[in-house]
Structure 1
Amino acid sequence: MQFTVHTAKSQLSKLIDAALSGEEVVIAKGSKPVVRLVPLPQSGFKLGLLDGAAIGQGPDFLKPMDDAELDAWEGR
């Protein structure tokens, strides 16, 4: 699809939707094509993927060791 700059300015939302759905959108000055509207690739990375998932309780690193564990760490 090819559109003039004037049409592109008034129909930008529709042209963006068309480009996102895979259509080729070309913007022309007069009859000369000058710009192609293409979607940017979206990242597959999602922060907080396990948010709210039941993964259990992690170890309490601030809990004091019992004497046997302390002796093992100190090599006694």
Structure 2
Amino acid sequence: DVGTMGVTTHAYGGTRMGDNQQTNVVDRWGFSHEAPNLGMVGASVMGTSGSRNPTLTVQALAWRTAQHLAETWKDRTG
């Protein structure tokens, strides 16, 4: 039926962000606690979803991670 709305979903939380490496996969900047040069830029770092589409939040988090990487590149590469 053309009038029936489909079900959609967004995956969240697979690589949860936080400072505690015992309970979170990535740090506050989106970089892995176990592999510090591995950055995650997607909805997986968000613990939960809001009531709206996450696209702008995901873009903002990706931009923030990329900006932090650019600012700390020399420290990360030696």
Whether TM-score is above 0.5 comes out as no
Please, what TM-score do these two structures have when normalized by structure 1?
0.24
When Rg is computed on C-alpha atoms for both structures, the one with the higher figure is: 1
Please, what TM-score do these two structures have when normalized by structure 2?
0.24
Q: Which structure has more strand as a fraction of its residues?
A: 1
